[in-house]
A and B are shown apart, each in its own frame.
Chain A
Amino acid sequence: MKVTMKYNTILLLFFAIVLLGACKKKEIEDPSTNSSPIFTATGNLGGESFLLEAGNENVFMNTFINMSNGVKVYSGKLGNEEMEIEIGLHEGNIDLEVPFNIQNFPTSLTFAALPSQPLAFLSKDLLPNSMFIDEVRWYIDGAFSGVNDVEIIEPGKYNVCAEVEFNDGSEATLCNEMILGFAVNASCKMRHVLQSNGNLKVWMDAYSTPIDHILWYVDDVLVGESSNLETNIDNENHLISAEIFYTNGAHRKKSILVDGSLSGKLIDDFSVFENGSVSQTKWDNSVILNVKKNGLTYSSAGADNSESSIQMISLSYYGKNSAGKDVYKCVASVSVNVREGQSGAILPLDFTTTFGLEMH
């Protein structure tokens, strides 16, 4: 019997080893050949040629999103210590709540140019109850911008706050979102009526796009969802806010300050400033291009690029950057004028590029 056991053992050993051949095996990767640089820019600046290839000569493609005046700028920076090209692509349709879609980008992009006149003029005198106001201190995105009259030049989506001092010495503050220099897909004005018995009615007026629904807040407390707000308030100041959802996907929020004492110490929304802008500047999907070379800085923003454009050859997903954000690869042909910051010299810049932009 021992003999039998011994040969059983041999058999088991034999077949166990054979079965090793069926176990999961590690795959050997295909030979890794040197790849070609992916992100490149080659062309000339003011007649001097240049070549930038990420991965060679310490050139690196850095991608990120800049927030410029409350608007996303899909950005990338390609270069090394000697030369660097930065491209920023402004977000478009910033009042729409729609998922990011590269299909929305046009094949021809324009360069962002500063408007020749202010986009908005914030003035105490333009407020409907200006006779009860002694002073208005303006804050833009949290920063004090001026008293009574303030101009906004650059496009953006701003959070504008008015700190109002009334004639009786009382003060109140109201903040509203303002979109300037970008396309606004929906607009409206909040109106209200307060009766002496404290009954308050609030509704939207002069809206350009049908409203889907509105969420109403009283003193930052959600009180209902309806087309109008009707409620009773006491004789104190109350903040009435409306979150407006338009049928085209636009989403805005507007606020007013209601004087419960009916003494005129109210603050209207800032629609008068936003809707009153006459500038035709629209920075949706526009490009700002900056170049650093040999210690000098050049920018497309300071030059006349009304005839310049970027021809987008392709825009496709590339991968994630070190921050784990989505990066798109933009192949484009660029012809632009750039202005040197100190001397003000204008130089032509022409190049073709495969550029990375963080976009989401």
Chain B
Amino acid sequence: MSWTDEELDQLFSDAASNATVEYNDAYWKDIEGMLPVRKKRKGLLWWMGGAGALVFFGTLLLVQVPFTTKSTVAKEPARELANGSTTDMNVNSSASSQVKKSVNSTESYTSLIDTKLNESDNQSVIQNTTRNKVAKGTVNPEQVLQQKVRSNESTVESLEIVNNSTQLVESKNLFNPAVVVESNSNVMQQEKLETEGTLALATIDINPLYHSGELIPTFYNLKTRSPHALYTEVGLGLGQSPITSSENGSAMAKNYGLQLGYSFQKSKLRYSAGLGISLQQFDNVYIKERSLIYGFGSNSVDNHYRFSSLMRIEVPLAIGYQFKRHTLSAGANFSFPVIAGLSYTKFVDGNMAVEEKGYTSTEFFKPFGAELQLGYAYHLGSNWELGAKVQMQLINPIASDRILGKTNALPLSGQVALRKTIVFKK
């Protein structure tokens, strides 16, 4: 018995339109059992200590290794994909039929799709020679997608995606498999697609899903993104000055930051640690002291010290929850003051005698700072994030009572930050 092209089309069309997708938990548990078990991290202090070294050496690596955004297929399973969430996918067969599928993954990124076909013909042998089913976009000859269809059970049992060499097209919105369908005796196998467009028995257009944001995490993984990444972040913001003074300057302080860091993505959680510098500028942190100096007579001496800025080394630690294009994060930021900007003016009997600008030590500030931080970031692209943070200083940086004014308890600040993520090259 021979099949005409139309009959074959009809066969798969019907099968696809009536396919059901089931999530088999046993699959995932088996696969999960094969995954390497990661040790739990011990202690926050290890994070802090290691963060600096990681950032440093990581950054060195960053400098040495030319980064690329070219995607390669990840060998790790896509957890989100493997979570078994049932997803409606638009399957473009020759008849553009819909396929309900359940997706699992293995270490080789094998996705199993159980597809039930409504129509079956045990004897049919489908030799996929049709070349008029062209997927959207172009197909890399190296990309091989095999779909095994057991027609004797009238079920497409699995769709195996061998993606150790699969590469998504740059537009990220096409999934363009080649499909092999086999029956008991007749096997249709397409080992390699021609670049001009070999029949894709089921071409999956995930573009709508991508745009809806639902598949973004999955795609990030499918896009072979390593869970390890480095990042740089610049930020600027405004906050409360550490001092409330009734006579000196503004109660607000500007802040600027630059961070280098490391982040690790696990599932939807992103852990990050970094090393950075921050510059806080204020104009109400003063020491004003007047004294009467006796000698042959006496002189009224006024010393005015105005701290204009405080530069700190920061160690930010954060955990982020990533969903769609958004990330919510919470963390702590530990800081160590390095240097303070200073203006010094001296008046003797009301006449200016000295006026200097420079830097001074941080003896008037606490040697350690900690602040809580809540943040939100919007993913502008695969590697850029624009975010906003709210920070609350748990330790007021002012340490000397010679500084005029009242120290603010838990001063708040906000910051807008732009982050660039740099992934490791696989």
Contacts and interface: CB of A to CB of B under 8 A. Distances in A.
Contacts of A33: 291
Contacts of A29: 303
B248 interface: no
Interface stretch (A18-26, A152-160, A196-204, A331-339): A18-26
B277 A14 contact: yes
Given A7-B62, A25-B358, A32 B303 contact: yes
Contact of A8 (B63, B232, B297): B63
Interface string B267-309: 0000000000100000000010111111111100101010000
Contacts of B368: none
B339 interface: yes
B361 A25 contact: yes
A3 B311 contact: no
Interface in B335-364: 338-339, 342, 344, 356, 358-361, 363-364
Interface stretch (A57-65, A106-114, A127-135, A298-306): A57-65
A28 B305 contact: yes
A21 B298 CA distance: 38
Interface in B318-342: 338-339, 342
B296 A322 contact: yes
Contacts of B303: 29, 32
B295 A4 contact: no
A54 B294 contact: yes
Nearest to B65: A4
Contact of A17 (B294, B311, B360): B311
Contacts of B232: 7, 10
A55 B295 contact: yes
A276 interface: no
B59 to A, nearest CB: 6
B304 to A, nearest CB: 11
Interface in A119-137: none
Contacts of A21: 311, 338-339
B260 A14 contact: yes
A232 interface: no
Nearest to B296: A61
Contacts of B36: none
Contact of A25 (B305, B339, B402): B339
B109 to A, nearest CB: 28
A36 to B, nearest CB: 6
B295 A38 contact: yes
A18 B313 contact: yes
A321 interface: yes
A35 interface: yes
A24 to B, nearest CB: 8
A31 B301 CA distance: 11
Contacts, number: 102
A11 B358 CA distance: 24
B213 to A, nearest CB: 28
Nearest to A327: B296
Contacts of B66: 1, 3-4
B338 A20 contact: yes
A41 to B, nearest CB: 14
Contacts of A8: 63
Interface in A37-73: 37-39, 53-56, 59-63
A98 interface: no
Nearest to A33: B291
A249 B139 CA distance: 113
Interface in B397-426: 402
Contacts of A59: 297
Given A14-B258, A21-B338, A21-B339, A27 B360 contact: yes
Nearest to A3: B67
A168 to B, nearest CB: 61
Contacts of B67: 3
A296 interface: no
Given A1-B66, A4-B66, A17-B311, A25 B359 contact: yes
A102 interface: no
A contacts with B: majority SS: loop
Contacts of A35: 291-294
Nearest to A20: B339
A257 B147 CA distance: 139
A181 interface: no
Contacts of A36: 294
Contact of A26 (B296, B301, B313, B360): B360
Given A29-B303, A32-B301, A37 B63 contact: no
A20 B311 contact: yes
Contacts of A53: 294
B311 A32 contact: no
A8 to B, nearest CB: 6
Given A39-B296, A55-B294, A61-B296, A26 B63 contact: no
B63 A356 contact: no
B295 A28 contact: no
A33 B311 CA distance: 30
B367 to A, nearest CB: 13
Nearest to A78: B296
A26 B356 contact: yes
Nearest to A356: B296
A54 B59 contact: no
Interface in A312-330: 319, 321-322
Contact of B63 (A7, A54, A319): A7
A275 to B, nearest CB: 43
Nearest to B234: A10
A34 interface: yes
B357 to A, nearest CB: 9
B311 A28 contact: no
A61 B296 CA distance: 5
A349 to B, nearest CB: 23
Most-contacted residue by chain B among A11, A26, A34 (CB, 10 A): A26
Contact of A10 (B260, B292, B338, B402): B260
Nearest to B302: A32
A76 B329 CA distance: 75
Given A10-B258, A21-B339, 9 more contacts: A8-B63, A20-B311, A21-B338, A26-B356, A32-B291, A32-B303, A37-B294, A54-B297, A62-B296
24 contacts: A7-B59, A7-B62, A7-B232, A8-B63, A14-B260, A17-B277, A21-B311, A25-B339, A25-B361, A26-B358, A26-B359, A28-B363, A32-B290, A32-B291, A35-B292, A35-B293, A38-B294, A54-B296, A54-B297, A55-B295, A61-B295, A61-B296, A63-B296, A321-B296
Interface of B: 59, 62-64, 66-67, 232, 258, 260, 277, 287, 289-298, 301, 303, 305, 311, 313, 338-339, 342, 344, 356, 358-361, 363-364, 402
- Nearest first, the 3 A-B pairs at minimum CB distance are A55-B298, A32-B291, A21-B338
